[in-house]
Homo-oligomer: A and B are copies of this chain.
Amino acid sequence: MSRVTAARIVADWGTSNLRVFALGEASNLLAEASSDTGMGKLTPDGYEPALLELIGDWLDANRVTPVIVCGMAGARQGWTEAAYRCVPCTPVGRPFARPRVASPLIEVFIVPGLSQAEPADVMRGEETQIAGVLAASPGFAGVVCLPGTHSKWALVKDGRVERFATFMTGELFALLATQSVLRHGMASEGSDEAAFDAGVADAISQPAGLAAELFRLRAAGLLADLPAAAARSRLSGLLVGAELAAARPFWQENEVLVVGSGALTELYRRALAGLGAQARAISGEKMVLLGLVQAFERISAETA
């Protein structure tokens, strides 16, 4: 394999992982790499070595290569804090944070996250995926839903994020399924589509009842031998249903683009379609790469 020399490098630096992409002059993808050196494992002086470990071979020894980073590297407890930009605004824009680096071969730009004053909310990383959505579908007007540990719903119009909301659905699911009393009688994997759908439907029709529904999973395991995979899928359905009920102002009258990967994205898309929403699913990986390219172009335009 011949050696790759990157014209620019982009990186998605989350809480758990670092993913880097070597791009050519036309922002074409040349190579990619990843490691588990997420924000959760690093102190501020650990970022540059962790980055160089992955990208060192892609650098041209005769010039400075720009590196554009999105995600938790810009958090207060990250590499260098990138102050939030307040919506309504374009998903990606200045000021980019500029961590000091020791290497003469790179200059690093961190994409700022977005904030919302009322109701208070923040995002870091998802703004770059939203920029990717707009790059893939210029003129897109509607709602971008990004399911995950902290699901985000963003209303996008005229190239800007108008408002957004965060739901701790994925984190709640993980805590309840593995740390709470519900872990007894809950499968660690496997799924039961009918149980998921019933959970969504019950949460949507009785949003105030979630607090009562949770312990019933344990009781049904004890009294009625509720199968462990059904318990897990019903818990997931109840939590996703509660999110969908609370996010109704986003999806009720807008086209929804569900951005992510794998089974979870499809579950959201299907649940939304079942509620009569217009929903499509697209790849989150592609969107983050497209969004990082957008961020690079914004930086080049400004520094030209």
Which residues from B are CB-within-8-Å of A168?
180-181, 211, 214-215
A236 CB–B CB distance under 8 Å: no
A210 CB–B CB distance under 8 Å: yes
Smallest CB gap from A204: residue in B = B208
> B222 to A76, Cβ gap below 8 A?
yes
Contact with B along A156-174 (1 / 0, CB 8 A): 0000000001111101100
A88 CB–B CB distance under 8 Å: no
Which of B116, B169, B222 contacts A211, CB < 8 Å?
B169
Which residues from B are CB-within-8-Å of A172?
180, 214
Min CB distance A182 to B, Å, is 8
Which residues from B are CB-within-8-Å of A179?
175, 179
> A171 to B167, Cβ gap below 8 A?
no
Q: How far is the CA of A212 from the CA of B214 in the complex (A)?
A: 18
Q: How far is the CA of A223 from the CA of B117 in the complex (A)?
A: 8
What is the predominant secondary structure among interface residues of chain A facing chain B? helix
Smallest CB gap from A153: residue in B = B212
Which residues from B are CB-within-8-Å of A211?
167-169, 210, 239, 242-243, 245-246
Copies of this chain in the oligomer? 2
A5 CB–B CB distance under 8 Å: no
A176 CB–B CB distance under 8 Å: yes
For the side of the interface on A, what is the size category? 35 or more
Contact with B along A202-241 (1 / 0, CB 8 A): 0000011111101110111011100000000000000100
Q: How far is the CA of A211 from the CA of B84 in the complex (A)?
A: 23
Min CB distance A242 to B, Å, is 5
Q: How far is the CA of A248 from the CA of B212 in the complex (A)?
A: 11
A42 CB–B CB distance under 8 Å: no
| Candidate in A115, A120, A245, A246 with the most chain B CB atoms within 10 angstroms | A120
> A242 to B120, Cβ gap below 8 A?
no
Min CB distance A11 to B, Å, is 22
A122 CB–B CB distance under 8 Å: yes
Which residues from B are CB-within-8-Å of A116?
219
Given A120-B224, A211-B239, 9 more pairs with CB closer than 8 A: A116-B219, A120-B219, A168-B211, A171-B180, A172-B180, A209-B246, A210-B210, A210-B211, A211-B246
A residues neighboring B (CB under 8 Å): 76, 84, 115-117, 119-122, 150, 165-169, 171-172, 175-176, 179-181, 207-212, 214-216, 218-220, 222-224, 239, 242-243, 245-248
23 A-B contacts, Cβ less than 8 Å apart? A76-B222, A116-B219, A117-B223, A120-B216, A120-B219, A121-B215, A121-B216, A121-B219, A122-B222, A165-B212, A166-B215, A166-B216, A166-B219, A168-B180, A169-B211, A175-B180, A179-B179, A207-B208, A208-B208, A209-B246, A210-B211, A211-B245, A211-B246
Sorted nearest first, the 9 A-B pairs with minimum C-beta distance are A207-B208, A120-B219, A166-B215, A120-B220, A212-B246, A211-B242, A175-B175, A211-B246, A121-B219
